[in-house]
């Protein structure tokens, strides 16, 4: 009903086609409310909603405040006056006939009922709604008004009186006024919205993927990483301070513990080494995205550019998906930390059983889009996370808290009817996890731990539906890489010894990125810059062998330069002595 004065629009930032728009408008969390004033000519990202809470009534009242904050010349033409009128203006209307009804809502200064009723009736003709504040007590007594809000009605024939049979609620007032004789909805032209020409073409029929709920699917884990690195992180244009530290630790944990395919693991390792090598305390997100998208053309690294939910697919597009995959990702990381306690050695994160959970806690706090979810997780972390003393306890802690969340969300609007929130693992996939003591259900935590360590292990991962590098439109090497990628599907963690291969290709690119970052963020101390360059040169020398004899590309380049320089020197010396010899011969013959 308020459409003529203020339009409502919804943009789903979880949809791939909206990623760039949400990034451009700086949408960090969901739901985010933005207000855009009428007749705005220049580009603006809008005004952020700053309400006390996100209850429907509060948001509606903030919309009214936003409308009232328009200057008179920028107010939407269809928006009626929302400010209160003085009681003297009402007195002048008495005993006068009119062509329409006039409804007056008497209310207190902090009430929104009058303004809501005014907006409810803007699309109806033969009625005008005004609001009056209850400051003039004698005037209210004269009209017989004893409480506010109250509605007073003036008929077209000049008669008037208080409407007594209503509860003092907006819905009652609006409904009664709309039902008056002669009050009808105006014939309005439909809103002219931009035509969506390619809607039918772009709408793809989502094919349901059959899956085994006792298995873990690599497509879910890689899709989660894709969404995290390319969508959720994209809302932060620059990473610095606690955000940058959190992201570095997250990438380090993933690079060391993620049981992925070799191209994905190599991408994470490259990203981690690059982040560690930078001496900057502020990094633009675009630089990170360039590396994730492999703009430097490093061979052998790849991460799918689209979501492919399998075990995390929902019965509707907005259900499950990323949140499900994030849970699976952190369960996997806690289990891998328990199975490989020495994996994080020499990273600065070793010897800490809580490290994966702490990184998860900080990531959710700084980056996760759902702020209400982040607050709930933080409350759970404060209660008991500090008491964890072993890697096995960390696995069980996350399992227990996931079930707490499932219990809280059971029956909520976000629950997928096809996948109800239940206590997991269910008896059909882990019967030994469940016990009954004195008629009450109980968990056998030893069996739960054993189940978790198997369920989130490399051996239980299926690669069906996972996109290979040859399937992607971003394939760099074409068919020459096809055989490699098919073999990679069968190797969860890949052969990490091969990570040294092609490292020389990244040296110049990393140097260019470093120069770009330095240009964007001011000068870096010469010692820092030289340290980074020397460190990179050192890595490169250790990284690649040439023809199996231990020479790197840097070594070979120096050899070539030295060879060319030597050749030039010899040629210069040759011509010098030749010319000198000729001059000596001419001089000798003349004298003789």
Q: 251, exposed or middle or buried, with CB in 10 Å at 0-12, 13-18, 19+?
A: buried
Please indicate whether the domains covering 87-185 and 216-462 agree at the CATH topology level.
no
What pLDDT shows up at residue 524?
Answer: 44
Residue 133 is predicted with a pLDDT of 93
Q: How confident is the model at residue 458 (pLDDT cuts 50, 70, 90)?
A: very high
Name beta bridge partners: 239.
283
Look over the chain and give the mean of its residue pLDDT values, rounded to a whole number.
82
pLDDT at 521 over 90: no
| Gyration radius of the chain over CA positions | 35
* Mean pLDDT confidence for 92-116: 89
pLDDT at 549 over 50: no
| Averaged pLDDT, 410-419 | 88
Closest listed residue to residue 249, CA positions, set 385, 352, 98: 352
Looking at residues 500-515, what average pLDDT do you find? 46
CB atoms within 10 A of CB 256: 23
> In the predicted model, is pLDDT for residue 272 greater than 90?
yes
What's the mean pLDDT in 31-56? 83
Say if CB 312 and CB 14 are below 8 A apart.
Answer: no
Taking phi over 0 as left and psi of -120 to 50 as alpha, with beta for the rest, 84 belongs to beta
Q: What's the pLDDT score for residue 190?
A: 57
In angstroms, the CA 389 to CA 377 distance is 20
pLDDT higher at 300 or 217: 217
For 166, counting Cβ atoms within 10 Å of its Cβ (0-12 exposed, 13-18 middle, 19+ buried), the class is: middle
Supply the pLDDT for residue 517. Answer: 52
Domain ranges of the chain: 1-79, 87-185, 216-462
Q: Which fold has domain 87-185?
A: Glutaredoxin (3.40.30)
CATH class of the domain whose range is 216-462: mainly alpha
Between 239-243, 462-466, 508-512, 539-543, the lowest mean confidence (pLDDT) is in 539-543
Taking residue 237's Cβ as centre, other Cβ atoms within 10 Å add up to: 10
- Can you give the pLDDT at residue 212? 93
Does position 305 have pLDDT exceeding 70, yes or no?
yes
Q: Which residue, 412, 364, 368, 370, is CA-closest to 385? A: 364
Tens digit of each residue's pLDDT (9 = 90 or more) over 336-354: 999 999 999 989 999 899 9
> For 365-397, how does the pLDDT look when each residue is reduced to its tens digit (9 = 90+)?
999 988 888 999 999 999 999 999 999 999 999
Looking at residues 233-258, what average pLDDT do you find? 93
| C-alpha–C-alpha distance, residues 31 and 322, integer Å | 16
Contacts with 239 (C-beta within 8 Å, 6 or more apart), sequence order? 247, 282, 283, 284, 285, 288
CATH superfamily, domain at 1-79: Glutaredoxin (3.40.30.10)
- Comparison of pLDDT for 80 and 556, the residue scoring more: 80
**Mean pLDDT throughout 9-14?**
86
pLDDT at site 553: 59
Full-model pTM: 0.65
Q: Per-residue pLDDT for 246 more than 50?
A: yes
3 state DSSP class of 102: strand
């Amino acid at each position: 009903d308020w459409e003529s004065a203020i339009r409502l629009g919804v943009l789903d930032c979880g949809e791939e086609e909206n990623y760039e728009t949400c990034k451009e408008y700086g949408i960090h969390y969901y739901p985010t409310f933005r207000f855009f004033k009428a007749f705005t000519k220049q580009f603006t990202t809008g005004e952020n909603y700053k309400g006390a809470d996100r209850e429907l009534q509060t948001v509606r009242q903030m919309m009214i405040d936003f409308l009232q904050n328009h200057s008179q010349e920028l107010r939407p033409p269809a928006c009626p006056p929302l400010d209160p009128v003085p009681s003297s203006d009402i007195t002048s209307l008495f005993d006068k006939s009119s062509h329409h009804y006039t409804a007056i809502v008497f209310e207190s200064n902090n009430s929104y009922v009058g303004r809501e009723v005014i907006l409810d009736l803007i699309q109806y003709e033969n009625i005008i709604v005004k609001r009056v504040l209850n400051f003039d007590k004698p005037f209210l007594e004269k009209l017989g008004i004893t409480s506010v809000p109250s509605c007073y009605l003036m008929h077209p024939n000049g008669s008037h009186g208080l409407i007594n049979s209503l509860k003092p609620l907006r819905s009652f007032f609006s409904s009664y006024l709309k039902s008056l004789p002669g009050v009808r909805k105006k014939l309005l032209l439909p809103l002219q919205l931009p035509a969506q020409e390619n809607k039918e073409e772009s709408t793809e029929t989502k094919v349901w993927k059959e899956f085994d709920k006792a298995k873990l699917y690599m497509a879910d884990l890689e899709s989660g990483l894709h969404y995290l690195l390319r969508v959720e992180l994209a809302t932060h244009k620059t990473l610095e301070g606690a955000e940058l530290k959190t992201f570095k630790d997250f990438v380090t944990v993933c690079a060391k513990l993620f049981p992925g395919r070799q191209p994905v693991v190599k991408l994470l390792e490259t990203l981690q080494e690059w982040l560690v090598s930078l001496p900057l305390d502020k990094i633009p997100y675009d630089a990170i995205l360039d590396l994730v998208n492999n703009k430097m053309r490093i061979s052998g690294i790849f991460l799918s550019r689209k979501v492919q939910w399998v075990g995390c697919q929902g019965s509707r597009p907005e259900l499950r998906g990323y949140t499900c995959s994030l849970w699976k990702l952190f369960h996997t990381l806690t289990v891998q930390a328990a199975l490989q306690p020495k994996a994080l050695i020499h990273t600065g994160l070793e010897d800490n059983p809580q490290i994966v959970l702490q990184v998860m806690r900080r990531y959710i706090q700084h980056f996760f889009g759902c702020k209400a979810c982040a607050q709930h997780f933080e409350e759970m972390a404060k209660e008991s996370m500090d008491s964890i003393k072993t890697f096995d306890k960390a696995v069980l802690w996350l399992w227990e808290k996931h079930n707490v969340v499932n219990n809280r969300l059971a029956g909520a609007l976000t629950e997928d009817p096809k996948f109800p929130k239940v206590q997991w693992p269910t008896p059909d996939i882990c019967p030994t996890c469940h016990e009954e003591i004195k008629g009450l259900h109980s968990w056998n935590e030893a069996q739960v731990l054993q189940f978790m360590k198997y369920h989130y292990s490399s051996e239980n991962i299926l690669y069906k539906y996972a996109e290979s590098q040859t399937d992607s439109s971003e394939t760099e090497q074409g068919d020459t890489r096809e055989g490699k990628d098919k073999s990679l599907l069968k190797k969860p963690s890949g052969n990490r010894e091969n990570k040294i291969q092609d490292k020389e290709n990244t040296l110049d690119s990393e140097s260019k990125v470093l120069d770009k970052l330095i240009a964007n963020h001011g000068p870096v101390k010469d010692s820092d810059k030289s340290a980074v360059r020397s460190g990179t040169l050192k890595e490169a020398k250790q990284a690649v062998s040439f023809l199996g004899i231990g020479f790197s590309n840097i070594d070979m380049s120096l050899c070539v330069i030295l060879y060319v320089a030597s050749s030039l020197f010899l040629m210069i010396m040759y011509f010098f002595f030749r010319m000198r010899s000729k001059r000596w011969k001419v001089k000798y013959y003349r004298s003789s």
